[in-house]
Amino acid sequence: MKKLINDISNVLTESLDGFVAAHGDIITLGAEHKFVQRKVLKPGKVALLSGGGSGHEPLHAGFVGHGMLDAACPGQVFTSPTPDQMIAAAEAVDTGAGVLFIVKNYEGDVMNFDMAREMAGRDIETVITDDDVAVENSLYTTGRRGVAGTLVVEKVVGAAAEQGADLKSLKALGDKVNRATRSMGVALTSCTVPAAGKPTFDISAIEMEMGVGIHGEPGRRRVALRTANEIAEEMVAAIAGDLNVKGNALLFVNGFGGTPSMELYLMYNAAAAQLAKHGITPVRSLVGSYVTSLDMAGCSITVTMLDDTITKGWDAPVHTPALRWGL
């Protein structure tokens, strides 16, 4: 295993120290590395809080700032953060209007965020994201996994929170964006968790995992490597078939950490062409590695169907370490 690390036991804390040092104008670090929070809070605004296992950077800490999250709780690599992290973060960023949890549908995340909500003693609502169409149940979930579509929910809901929407409205909006969003991924290689020191799964040079999860968990099936057009055709067909609507959309092609931008833009071109066959027109786009799986090669395709409200939220100004426009 070749990794730029000092001590496996300190990977997360040292990474967080560097992250906050690099973006100290936007974020600060909570006590004991429990959470990352927005440096300047907006009084009277509903606080948005998310989190999950590390290894998916920049999700979630990279989206803390103006127009998105107020705090993010990083767990150990591919491990849910603990309820005490979430409680401490909620206490730090709640300015009186309540807190909205945005939680990917993984059993550990859902359980711990639920426990934190019950123990926190404050007004908290929860949005569960479950945009992955690849499998109905997986190693870590009951029901569909929450994957790259979580970024879209955080962005749109974050914009509405910035504009003063109340907690109930934000919960409803988050659920709406989640329903309008579908994703699917493909892996060309495994990721390597530092503590394990070896690839999570074995895959040959002529195979790929169709429908892989962001922790490297199995997808629909292991198949022979195909062209980008063929990969896009299968993934878009699954997404469009599940959405079962036509119209304007956001197309988000997300890298898993080990795929160069050249290939991601090639996949965007292939996906857009396939969407046209299903009557879906990308009028907004995002391409890059935003919801990763350490060093995995591969990508996911996310489609969010747009209406005026979702489009306005996506276009609204944002200033975070990983996502910035309009300011």
- Residue 188 CB neighbour total at 10 angstroms: 20
* Band of residue 256 on the pLDDT scale cut at 50, 70, 90: very high
Confidence check: pLDDT of 140 > 80: no
Tell me the average pLDDT across 253-276: 98
List Cβ neighbours of 280 (8 Å cut-off, separation of 6 or more).
240, 243, 245, 246, 247, 248, 249, 303, 305
Token pair in block for residue 99: 């807190």
Sheet containing 298-305, strands listed edge to edge, beginning at the edge strand earlier in sequence: 221-224, 207-210, 181-187, 298-305, 247-255, 280-288
- Residue 173 CB neighbour total at 10 angstroms: 22
User: What's the pLDDT tens digit per position in 165-199?
Assistant: 999 999 999 999 999 999 999 999 999 999 899 99
Confidence check: pLDDT of 132 > 90: yes
E-strand stretches of the chain: 27-29, 36-38, 47-54, 71-77, 99-104, 124-129, 181-187, 207-210, 221-224, 247-255, 280-288, 298-305, 318-319, 324-325
Token pair in block for residue 146: 């929450």
Tell me the average pLDDT across 291-320: 98
User: What's the pLDDT tens digit per position in 203-241?
Assistant: 999 999 999 999 988 888 899 999 999 999 999 999 999
- Give catalytic residues, as residue numbers: 56, 215
* Band of residue 50 on the pLDDT scale cut at 50, 70, 90: very high
